[in-house]
Amino acid sequence: MKRLKDPFARKMVYGSLVYGGVLLVMFAVLTVVYLHTRPRCSERVVSHSFSGARWTATLMERRCGEEAPFFAHVNLHPAGKDLWRGFFSGTVTEGEVFAVEQDAFDAGVSIRWSGPNTLVIHCARCSASFIRKRQGQWNGVDIEYELPFH
């Protein structure tokens, strides 16, 4: 490659490269900000249930797009701590112990504590084929289910 001897041409090439780099950085930063402030999925808190001072169970509803189905899900987390949402997705997956591909009202999902370390998830109209997650225990919390099928 031939070296540019003209100082003006050298400054023009250098300036163009710097300008292009700044545009790329600006595009990347704005993309990250946009994806964070407008996540693909929306989460809505339906209800909370507290087990004294140790745990909180949160019933939520998730939808990822206009034509996507609703998901009702239950998340457990230490009392006094907020739920952590994914930076880009906006979803709350940490501590998720139950998920059903129905909205919370239609499925008839409710949560209550029967003891300090026993959570009962009642799902009056859940269909077995729509249940996506069903854990029996989480961090020392026993999870019992009241479902319309065996």
* Spans of all domains in the chain: 1-38, 42-146
Longest dimension (CA), the chain: 83
Rounded distance, CA 125 to CA 81, Å?
Answer: 31
What percent of the chain shows pLDDT beyond 90? 55
Contact of 98 with 90, CB cutoff 8 Å:
no
Mean pLDDT of the chain: 89
pLDDT at residue number 86: 81
Residue 104's alpha-carbon distances to 12, 31, 84, in angstroms, are 61, 33, 21
pLDDT in tens, 50-108: 988 799 999 999 998 888 899 999 999 998 888 888 887 788 889 999 999 998 998 99
pLDDT of residue 2: 64
